[in-house]
Amino acid sequence: MTKEQIYNRIWGLDSEAGIDIVELYVHYLQTKLSSWHADQYIQTVRGLGYILRINE
């Protein structure tokens, strides 16, 4: 998903928060996941957004 898609779904179009808040919260989530050795599940795609990887 792009940062814009994530932003619009979570904060909505009327939010006064900046788009950078997406990066901040994804970073928080990646940090939490890394403590469980699961940080590979959210991958950053430079210039696009993020991919959620699920191992099968």
At 36, the pLDDT band (50, 70, 90 cuts) reads: confident
At 56, the pLDDT band (50, 70, 90 cuts) reads: low
What is the token pair recorded at 55? 């191992």
**Each residue of 2-26: pLDDT tens digit?**
999 999 999 988 889 998 999 999 9
Q: What is the CATH number of domain 3-52?
A: 1.10.10.10
Question: By CB neighbour count within 10 A (0-12 exposed, 13-18 middle, 19+ buried), where does 23 fall?
Answer: middle
Task: Output the average pLDDT for the chain.
Answer: 87
First to last CA, the chain: 20
Give yes or no for residue 39 having a pLDDT over 70.
Answer: no
Domain ranges of the chain: 3-52
